[in-house]
Chains A and B, each alone.
Chain A
Amino acid sequence: MNMASRIILIIAALLLTMSGYAFGSDIAIGMSLSLTGRYAEMGNMQQKGLFLWEKHVNEKGGILGRNVKIIIMDDKSSKERAKNIYKRLIEKDKVDFVIGPYSSGISEAILPVTEKNRYPVLLSGASADRLWEKGYRYAFGIYTPASKYTSGFLQMLVKQKIENIAIISAEDTFSVSLSKGTRKWAQRFKLNVACFQVFKKGQKHLADIALRAKESGSQAVIVCGHLNESVDMRLALKKIGWYPEAYYASVGPATRQFYNILKDDSNLTFSSSQWEESVGIRFPQGEEFIKAFHKYYKISPSYHAATAYAAGMILEAALEKSGSLDKEDLRETLFSLDTMTVIGRYGVDKKGKQKRHFPLIIQWQNKKKNVVWPDSLKELDPVFQ
């Protein structure tokens, strides 16, 4: 071999080495988040939670001796955009790992991509049961499944001797799962579902549906949707002048924006929450997380921020446990992992669906969001009309 050939080989080897470390020695973790669009409130919270975890984990020396690099791209609350982002992250940028986007619908869109490329994905913003009924092998839940969101609220209704309820649901992945689960739980608790209505996502005027719920003799109204639906239904009820004994709406009331929009009309609204400061502070590292979040962002973290942070913690624990960056090893570890995070306990069933985390029931009382269930963790007693 002559000198020229040797030089060419050395250069080629160097180029290959460089191309294999596109992100240097950092562990690249990519994801899309709804930084704009209808899920922007939740998406931005998640971004804050993840950046905070990135800061914390790198301060501790990274994972397996390597720093972590979080790469977030805005999917603008679009399924198609999110799907393309994950394709790019995995197939072009070749990130080491990915974390799921916000919302069950968008998560459902990106799962075929991660599945095809055998990338384990922690779904930190999705809870629809349907995601784990499609046979995906690389999807791991962090949230309590949607079908269990309302269990605590329904128990409160039983105690309150309410017998008839109305279930009103938006037509999206998460909301449908939630409404079906709620109906099932209602039957278990021997509650009569007097009204079951489904409306199209984005439908603003819900007065007619509210009227039908009223006419059904329902004593409580459960709205399965996100922030917009929770606000719209509250306004629709007000419009028809009906205040049921209990009004529950998923997701939206857990955010500060719900109050900011409705102000006093938000009062006595029930909702589910994956995490609340008052409860999270009792979990390991919960207090540090809350303090740090306040310190860096000057606001209180929502459960979306906490679950995003928790996703980082779970990934960190799994990689440390498996001792390698191999994706198949990570997948096996995520199935068997049983660990504590800032939002509570992590553990999934054999399909990857979260089974150890439990939701909280919160209620807006006097401009403040309070945990009202479970009894052992509640801040205040629930109040009915």
Chain B
Amino acid sequence: MLQRQRKSLTLRIAFPVVILILLLGVMLDRFVLNVISDFTKEQIQRDLGSISRIINNICDINFENLLMEGKADDRQALTIEQGLVLGQVEDLLVQEDLLGIVYDKNLKKILLKTDLPLEPVKWMDPGKGIKGLKSLGENAGGWFAFYEEFSPWGWQIIILKNEIEYSSLKTRLNKVYLNTLLILIFASALLIFFIHQTIKKPVNTIIQALRKGKRPNYQGIYVFEFLSDSITGMMDSIKKSEEKYRSIIETATGFVWEVDKKGNYTFISETVKNILGYDPKELLGKSAFFTMPEKEIDRMSPVFRKNALCLKPFENLVNKNLNKQGRTVFLETRGVPIIAEDGRLSGYRGVNKDITLQLIAKKEHKELERHRHQLQKMEAIGTLAAGIAHDFNNLLFIIMGNVSLSKVGIEKGLPVIKYLKQAEAASARAGELANELITLSKGGMPILTVGSIKNLLAETAGSIIKDVNVKLLLQIQENLLTVEYDEIQMKQVFINIITNALESMPNGGLITIDAQNLWKRDHTDKVESSLPEKIYVKITFKDQGRGIERQHLENIFDPYFTTREMGTKRGAGLGLAVVYSIVSHHDGRISVSSEPGCGTMITLYIPACEKSI
């Protein structure tokens, strides 16, 4: 309260004025008191001197009368005369409000003594030949004595006056002081009132409005009106700026944040709700790593720590987060350090931008590029293979014709027939290869019909996985959507995949085939996320085989790529290339994932027929 009073504007202005006035008053008082003291002394000297001369005259006249009457030596006459003089002197002293004594130096006796408030002999030293005015000293209480002598009678007349007698002057002065004081108090009150009215009131009006968060609207004194208007203008400007800033923050693709030096959020903009699903209040006070998975925290915290130690800003720091629903959100973090006045780090301020979609788009683009490249590669190989296969087929027909003719003319049982048969079988095998190569070429375009692949899938899988030590788990959705497909080619696809699976499990195992409608794509899957906006029928083939090495995964759809030994019957490496080609011709996609020793999973995405949706 006292501190607040000390800071009061009125007090700050009025206090020095009052102090100045008081100082002037004290100085004036000192000065005037000295003047009065001198004046009093002069006045006492003048007054007492005047009375003293009158008394001397009285004595003189009476003495003269005695002389003129020839009674100067008449003792009785002298006694009477002196007695009368003493009476007149006393009357005069009483009349003039004076005190005094008449001392007979010859008789060493006080002849007259008015009612003195002090022992005269003690202070006045009668009979010591003193003349004129004498102060009786501090102990005598402000008394002055005027010494006069009437020599013919040996009288010393001492008249006393106290300076307090002149107190009326001081009293008047005190009245003046009192009046001045009252005027000053009144003036001070007026000043305070004036300050209150002209300064404090307008300032209070402005301050009160500001405290309430309102725009001041003072009308009156020009200066404060100007101040009020200026503040209002500034507030409007700030408000606009704030609104602009807020709208920027709220409409930004990222969210603005501030953390303290421990990395805990101290501010977080509303847009975080759109990005991470959290209300800002839920995150305030929590660590900036709160939304990151543990592995990401392990990866990011050293980076943050290192930057913080060097007071470095963050630039395009991509980090993985989980939103409130648990979905992955990739954020790009930018931040600058907040430096306190002492030069130490007090926190960071920055923006987190959601780049999940960008990353997906990038992945999609990459996948599409890879797909396009694969198609081009397949097309080039197909064109080449188709040409070779056509010519090869022609040559094979000649070879096979000639072998057949040779067999006709040769007697049964000859050893040459055995060789001719082998040549004929090899030629037939070469023909199959040539056909496969033609399938890869343009000549293998599918003849599409609409239907469910449900039965085809089940029958094909059932026919292949038979009489082997491999089990089949077939999971086909009841209401599987129909697709447009070429039955022969699609069957070839199923055969090739299942055959590969069987071959990867020489010791047996389980093949799981799953077919279902794909309504919602998983954007974290690079193939799914790259699919055009359609509904697909998703068919997954999962085996428990030896798997594929990571480095081979990219090449498994290339023609003649195989992980098996070259020269074996089934090591031509066209199986998955054909699968890829057929699926592509059906506007579908294929993905493969595999872990060595854990099996392989091949997924087909065949666009569902729009009519069935």
Contact = CB atoms under 8 A, between A and B. Distances in A.
Nearest to A188: B83
B528 to A, nearest CB: 115
Interface centre among A155, A349, A350 (most CB of B within 10 A): A155
A158 B82 contact: no
B95 A350 contact: yes
A158 B79 contact: yes
Contact of A188 (B76, B77, B86, B95): B86
Contacts of B112: 188
A268 to B, nearest CB: 21
Nearest to B86: A188
Contacts of B77: 159
B91 A188 contact: no
Contacts of A189: 79-80, 83
Interface in B76-103: 76-77, 79-80, 82-84, 86-87, 91, 95
A158 B82 CA distance: 12
B76 A161 contact: yes
A190 B112 CA distance: 11
Interface string A136-153: 000000000000100100
B111 interface: yes
Interface string A178-216: 000000010011100000000000000000000000000
B79 A151 contact: no
Contacts of A154: 83
A190 B76 CA distance: 10
A185 B91 contact: no
Contact of B83 (A161, A190, A349, A355): A190
B76 A158 contact: yes
A272 B111 CA distance: 26
A190 B111 CA distance: 9
B95 A349 contact: yes
A200 B91 CA distance: 30
Interface residues of B, number: 13
Given A188-B86, A188-B111, A188-B112, A155 B91 contact: no
A332 B83 CA distance: 33
Contacts of A159: 76-77, 80
Contacts of B79: 158, 189-190
A158 to B, nearest CB: 5
A350 B83 CA distance: 24
Tell me the interface secondary structure of chain A in the complex.
helix
B55 to A, nearest CB: 15
Contacts of A188: 82-84, 86-87, 111-112
Interface string A340-355: 0000000001100001
A208 B79 CA distance: 33
Contacts of B91: 355
A188 B83 CA distance: 4
Given A185-B87, A188-B111, A155 B95 contact: no
A350 B80 CA distance: 27
Contacts of A350: 95
B87 A151 contact: yes
Contacts of A349: 95
Contacts of A158: 76, 79-80, 83
A359 to B, nearest CB: 13
A182 B447 CA distance: 171
Contacts, number: 33
A35 B12 CA distance: 79
A129 B112 CA distance: 19
Contacts of A151: 84, 87
A188 B109 CA distance: 12
Nearest to A181: B87
A262 to B, nearest CB: 30
Interface string B54-89: 000000000000000000000011011011101100
B11 to A, nearest CB: 50
A161 B79 CA distance: 11
B80 A155 contact: yes
Interface centre among A161, A188, A349, A350 (most CB of B within 10 A): A188
Contacts of A190: 79, 83
Contacts of A155: 80, 83-84
Contacts of A148: 87
A236 to B, nearest CB: 29
A313 B588 CA distance: 154
A118 to B, nearest CB: 24
Interface centre among B80, B86, B111 (most CB of A within 10 A): B80
Contacts of A185: 83, 87
Interface in A84-102: none
B568 to A, nearest CB: 149
A355 B96 CA distance: 14
A190 B81 CA distance: 11
B78 to A, nearest CB: 10
Contacts of B84: 151, 155, 188
A154 B112 CA distance: 17
A100 B111 CA distance: 36
B96 to A, nearest CB: 9
A25 to B, nearest CB: 41
A203 B76 CA distance: 37
B165 to A, nearest CB: 15
B17 to A, nearest CB: 46
A267 to B, nearest CB: 26
Nearest to B95: A349
A75 to B, nearest CB: 31
Interface in B114-143: none
A153 to B, nearest CB: 12
A151 B80 CA distance: 10
B179 to A, nearest CB: 27
A355 B80 CA distance: 20
Contacts of A355: 91, 95
A154 B79 CA distance: 11
A335 to B, nearest CB: 13
A175 B156 CA distance: 33
A81 to B, nearest CB: 34
A118 B77 CA distance: 46
B510 to A, nearest CB: 133
A212 B600 CA distance: 164
A151 B88 CA distance: 12
A154 B82 CA distance: 13
Interface in B313-339: none
Nearest to A349: B95
B289 to A, nearest CB: 101
Interface in A118-170: 148, 151, 154-155, 158-159, 161
Nearest to A154: B83
Interface centre among B86, B87, B111 (most CB of A within 10 A): B87
Interface centre among A148, A154, A190, A355 (most CB of B within 10 A): A190
B90 to A, nearest CB: 8
Interface string A319-358: 0000000000000000000000000000001100001000
B435 to A, nearest CB: 146
Interface in A246-303: none
A148 B79 CA distance: 17
24 contacts: A148-B87, A151-B84, A151-B87, A154-B83, A155-B80, A158-B76, A158-B80, A158-B83, A159-B76, A159-B77, A159-B80, A161-B76, A188-B82, A188-B83, A188-B84, A188-B86, A188-B87, A188-B111, A189-B80, A190-B79, A190-B83, A349-B95, A350-B95, A355-B91
Given A151-B87, A188-B82, A188-B83, 20 more contacts: A148-B87, A151-B84, A155-B83, A155-B84, A158-B79, A158-B80, A158-B83, A159-B77, A159-B80, A185-B83, A185-B87, A188-B84, A188-B86, A188-B111, A189-B80, A189-B83, A190-B83, A349-B95, A350-B95, A355-B91
Nearest 4 CB-CB pairings of A with B: A188-B83, A189-B83, A188-B86, A155-B80
